[in-house]
Structure 1
């Protein structure tokens, strides 16, 4: 198993991204990214996580891409045929780690958005209070 091969296949087949697009998102040259896909450059865990985020999947999905694809293909293209029955089983155990990772990532993004909105709301309320206090002072109203 070569990680670069998995990355290239996901990029081309599933995402239909150009190398230049992924390289730009990673803030590296297209040549440096090509070296990752061609297994010339070793990939760090951090870089794998960045690529997974761009692809919208987990690092585990990238690492196990070929084996998962093989299980799916073998199930639906077996010797006996599936006789037109689709039981929505894609081979192997469900990839709960991938689902958990994506759910956790989404929850984290939602929490960050919520925190930012709370901070904006607090700042807005502080400004509003300051304006009301100034208005009360201008009209000689004690508070």
Structure 2
């Protein structure tokens, strides 16, 4: 089971676009140590799992069960029915922060565009 947790952590980290360096920094360990942890080369303490859950903004149960709720290989091989309802909820949860960021960037871009249009009298 611990190997599955390591794989789940890696998958979630990649979905969130977090680097190993970022995770290592947040956990107070070296990048090599974090990499070893992801590769199942070292056992993850419960305390580290709790810290990872905080970084991911997910509860521990969701991290532990992540691989069973969303199987990316299956989803790629058998679209669109391979995603379960809980898998879709996991994907939504992971991308919610990215959607908010993109909406903010779009709003900033729209305001800047309006400013330039007003300033230079463009269409």
Normalised TM-score (structure 2): 0.58
Question: Relative CO higher for 1 or 2, CA cutoff 8 Å, sep ≥ 6?
Answer: 2
Q: Which runs of 5+ in 1 are unaligned?
A: 79-88, 96-143
Higher CA-based Rg:
1
Give the Å deviation of 1:62.
1.1
Query: Equivalent residues in 2 for 1:34-113 (5 A)?
Result: 34-70=35-71, 76-77=80-81, 90-91=85-86
RMSD: 2.6
Give the Å deviation of 1:26.
0.4
Q: From the two aligned structures, give the one with the greater helix fraction.
A: 2
Between Structure 1 and Structure 2, how many residues are aligned?
A: 82
Identify the residue that residue 5 of structure 1 maps to in structure 2: 7
Structure 1 segments (4+ residues) deviating >6 Å? none
Identify the residue that residue 110 of structure 2 maps to in structure 1: none
Q: Which runs of 5+ in 2 are unaligned?
A: 91-123
